[in-house]
């Protein structure tokens, strides 16, 4: 699995030319979408099966600012998965300098379209496998980043 990479867009910056703090939460989501595409189970396919993955909580600790036109990579690691809930850690790296820009964590649950929790293991084994295969595994150099 590759880390998610792109440049900081101008509209994502504030008056100081720094990526606005709220955009880190967005790039965490972008990296989850990218991960699922690489794993062969895009969000569209999961949702077509009637499965949703709402965010229960998200946090971000800012280390070094990203600025307009900086290239960054988001490394993610699934740190907990039990078929009903999912927890993901993130590290955002400036590709130009190698600086650690932010670390984050999000937790999710799996629900049906009525937002009732569901277990994926027996009812959706293909979805379960995508997350179970990477639970706790260093997917894309995550553990090597300080």
Which residues are catalytically annotated?
Answer: 14
Which ranges constitute the DSSP H helices of the chain?
22-38, 43-48, 120-123, 125-132
Contacts of 140 (CB under 8 A, 6+ apart): 1, 2, 3, 75, 76
Please name which of 65, 42, 43, 40 lies closest in space to residue 53, comparing C-alpha atoms.
43
φ and ψ of 33, to 5 deg: -60, -45
Rounded to the nearest 5°, which phi and psi values hold at 123? Answer: -80, -35
The first and second tokens of residue 77, run together, are: 């690691």
């Amino acid at each position: 699995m590759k880390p998610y990479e792109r440049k900081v867009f101008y509209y994502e910056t504030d008056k100081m030319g720094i990526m606005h703090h709220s955009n880190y939460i967005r790039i965490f989501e972008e990296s989850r979408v990218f991960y699922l595409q690489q794993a062969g189970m895009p969000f569209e396919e999961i949702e077509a099966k009637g499965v949703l993955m709402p965010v229960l909580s998200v946090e971000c600790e800012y280390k070094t600012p990203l600025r307009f036109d900086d290239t960054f990579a988001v490394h993610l690691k699934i740190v907990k998965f039990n078929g009903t809930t999912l927890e993901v850690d993130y590290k955002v790296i400036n590709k130009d300098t190698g600086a650690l820009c932010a670390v984050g964590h999000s937790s999710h649950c799996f629900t049906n379209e009525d937002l009732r929790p569901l277990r994926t293991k027996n009812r959706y084994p293909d979805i379960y496998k995508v997350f179970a295969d990477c639970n706790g595994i260093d997917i894309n150099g995550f553990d090597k980043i300080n």
